Amino acid sequence: MLSRKNRLLLLKLLSLFSIVRGYNVLVIVIAQYLAAIYIMAPDLPLRSVVFDLSLFVIVLASALVIAAGYIINSFYDSEKDLINKPRKTMLDRLVSQRTKLSTYFVLNFLSVVFASYVSFRAVLFFGAYIFGIWLYSHKLKRLPFIGNLVSATLAITPFFAVFVYYRNFEAVIFVHALFLFLLILSREMIKDMENLAGDLALDYKTIPVLFGTRYSKIIITFLVLLALLPAFLLIETFDVGYMYLYFILAMGLLIAFLILMWKSSSKKHYVWLHNILKFIIVSGVFSILLINVDLVLNRIL
């Protein structure tokens, strides 16, 4: 049996894991590596990608900055989250605000130190990334649509770091990025409707607060319809192997998402819609393996 002190320590560790969204960070790390292997550098030997120390440092620095970003976002949104996510917030509050800030600075400092191994430009890149996340959390997220746009941009920035490292400028990469960006932006818009109560209480100037949920649904519909275009192009124009099956499924789910969204009117409905988009995004990460199912075996052999 654990002592009371050890149980409290375990709960605090779970709380910290919840704050930094450890599961999200892990998915992003996997996505960066899969994108590097299958999309950014498909012609390089598997071993040279997986065991590339510079790539490892870029991925590690990205993970640290993202974790720190979740911390600073939790720090600024503590009151709003108490309204929108009371159960999660009570767990998160086991970690003091002082500890959150200390961890935030340590993680960011370590990310810059690791980035210095790659190059001075990497230090500047991650320094700008850290500043962008802070500015979003502190100011920009309260602005209608700009906050959503910046949030979606920050979400795909880790992939941009890998893209710059490999200097691969093929069109298929930009089409993949556009599809992902539009999905994330749509998800951010759904989250605003999901968090409407807290945003209203704390005077966040989101689109549902200023113009109502109907206006938000119109914008989301436009974004989702736009997302169908790169999905169609990836099926018809580019060689994505068996990943075309994922894009067909994603297109079907997005159409179903739109139908359900226009019938939705409560937070419970918006949570489900949020989860549909999250499923499409996360399943897309692992569907990268379908681009060439024999790629890993061929490289190993």
Per-residue pLDDT of 126-182, as tens digits, reads 999 999 999 999 889 888 889 999 999 999 999 999 988 988 778 888 999 999 999
CB-based contacts of 47, cutoff 8 Å, min separation 6: 299
CA-to-CA dists, residue 74 to 57, 150, 299, angstroms: 26, 17, 42
Global pTM value: 0.90
Residue 74 · residue 103 · CB < 8 Å:
no
Q: What pLDDT score was predicted for residue 301?
A: 46
Structure tokens of 137? 């959390």
Q: Could you tell me the residue ranges of all domains in the chain?
A: 11-168, 170-301
Average pLDDT over residues 231-250: 94
CA distance 29 to 131: 21
Question: Which range (28-32, 194-198, 249-253) has the least confidence?
Answer: 194-198
CA-to-CA dists, residue 62 to 18, 59, 113, 161, angstroms: 18, 5, 12, 8
Q: Homologous superfamily of 11-168 in CATH?
A: UbiA prenyltransferase (1.10.357.140)
